[in-house]
A and B are shown apart, each in its own frame.
Chain A
Amino acid sequence: GAVVSQHPSRVICKSGTSVKIECRSLDFQATTMFWYRQFPKKSLMLMATSNEGSKATYEQGVEKDKFLINHASLTLSTLTVTSAHPEDSSFYICSARGGRGTTDTQYFGPGTRLTVL
Chain B
Amino acid sequence: GNSVTQMEGPVTLSEEAFLTINCTYTATGYPSLFWYVQYPGEGLQLLLKATKADDKGSNKGFEATYRKETTSFHLEKGSVQVSDSAVYFCALMNSGYALNFGKGTSLLVTP
CB of A97 closer than 8 Å to a CB of B? yes
- A49 in complex: contacting residue of B89, B98, B103, CB < 8 Å: B98
Which residues of A in the span 59-106 have a Cβ within 8 Å of any Cβ on B? 93, 95, 97, 103-106
A115→B45 CA distance, assembly (Å): 24
Which one of B43, B46, B103 has the greatest number of beta carbons of chain A within 10 Å? B43
Q: Knowing that A34-B97, A34-B98, A34-B99 are A-B contacts, what are 18 other residue pairs whose CB atoms are under 8 Å apart, sorted by A's residue number?
A: A41-B104, A42-B103, A42-B104, A43-B89, A43-B102, A43-B103, A44-B99, A46-B99, A46-B100, A49-B97, A104-B51, A104-B93, A105-B46, A106-B97, A107-B46, A108-B43, A108-B45, A110-B43
A4→B98 CA distance, assembly (Å): 16
